[in-house]
Amino acid sequence: MTYQETLYYLYSRLPMFQNIGAAAYKANLDNTYKISELLGKPHLKLKCIHVAGTNGKGSSSHMLAAILQKSGYIPESIRDKSGGYGYNEKYDPDTSIKKDAFEGRDPRYSWINPGFSQTERDPVTNITWNDAVNLAKWLSKKEGKKYRLPTEAEWEYACLAKTQSRFGVGDDPRHLSFYANVYDQSALSYWGKWNNFAQKDSDGFPFTAPVGSFKPNSYGLYDMNGNVWEWVSDFYSDQYPSDAVTNPTGPPSGDLRVRRGGSWHTWALYARCQFRNWNTADTRYTLVGVRLLLEKHDRPIRIKQVHRRQNQLIKKLSQ
């Protein structure tokens, strides 16, 4: 495993950890600090919006295209001409220098082309942390409202959705079949050597799935687990605060940024609400996307209004 957190988030239900007893898992879990336990009542309305899409006529696609056109912002994968990462059926990770699961960096790949086909409602990939922050700043100025990346604490609070379960929708990874696009039987024809890690069900999505294809959690939020990793605002640190704090925002400086949630290509272990991953701010990858948080207004906006707001925003950006 490539992540230090694996040692702390083991659980016996995954095939590769069946030799780890439930008691050992519980001991690790009890000793694991949870950001969510630090939070009292949320000071922000936990409504998040996927910025999603590729070529097509869907509202999410038009939103991103309109933002890029109006703002003049060019995503890093295109601006620095080094590209991103993507799927190539002829690419063999074992013959590459980095042994990476996907081909890159390569100018052929960017948010426009992740190497596999997408609908207009699929989540954007190959978006860097820097891209996400700049898009949020421009969108905030355009709308006169505050859009930003959620903090790590806010993201986890939203994922847990009033629970203390592993996935926010229960402890059993089999529940993810109804709530999350993770590595399952649909992907075995592409990566059969990872058969032991695949969910036993098939959701029909070997790659990304259109946003909202699965059930939402109890907060009404879709795709908090799986589909794409989501950047949060915090710098990464391997140490949480030793004392309880309210609404923590992470360390003041660092070299790495945190991403959360797992993706369409990760197994259930990495889709846990408390699991943490990290990358440099300029990392672009075919598994990494973005979810923006809109800060609370005096007049709350219901979750069900999210698509209506997206359409309204598209019209405004097009004017």
β-bridge mates for residue 257, sequence order: 235, 279
Report how far residue 230's alpha carbon sits from residue 275's, in angstroms, rounded to the nearest whole number. 12
Stated as kind and residue range, the H or E segment containing 65 is helix 59-71
Structural fold of domain 38-318: paralog of FGE (formylglycine-generating enzyme) (3.90.1580)
Report how far residue 67's alpha carbon sits from residue 47's, in angstroms, rounded to the nearest whole number. 20
Report how far residue 175's alpha carbon sits from residue 22's, in angstroms, rounded to the nearest whole number. 19
Q: Where are the domains of the chain?
A: 1-32, 38-318
Residue 193 per-residue DSSP state: G
3-state secondary structure at position 313: helix
Report how far residue 216's alpha carbon sits from residue 180's, in angstroms, rounded to the nearest whole number. 9
H-only helix segments in 161-298: 176-179
CA 13 to chain centroid: 23
Q: Is the C-alpha dihedral spanning 259, 262, 268, 272 positive or negative? A: positive
CA atoms lying within 13 Å on the CB side of residue 87: 17
β-bridge pairing 291-294 and 147-148: antiparallel
Range list of β-strands (E), 149-276: 229-235, 257-260
C-alpha torsion angle, residues 37, 39, 42, 46 (rounded to 10): -50
What does the pLDDT profile of the chain (319 residues) look like in tens digits? 322 232 223 232 232 232 222 333 233 333 333 333 333 333 333 333 343 333 222 235 456 767 888 889 999 999 999 999 999 999 998 888 888 999 999 999 999 999 999 988 888 899 999 999 999 999 899 889 898 999 998 899 899 998 989 999 999 999 899 999 999 999 998 988 888 889 999 999 999 999 889 999 999 899 999 999 999 999 999 876 666 677 788 899 999 999 999 999 999 999 999 899 999 999 999 999 988 888 876 444 343 444 455 455 545 555 5
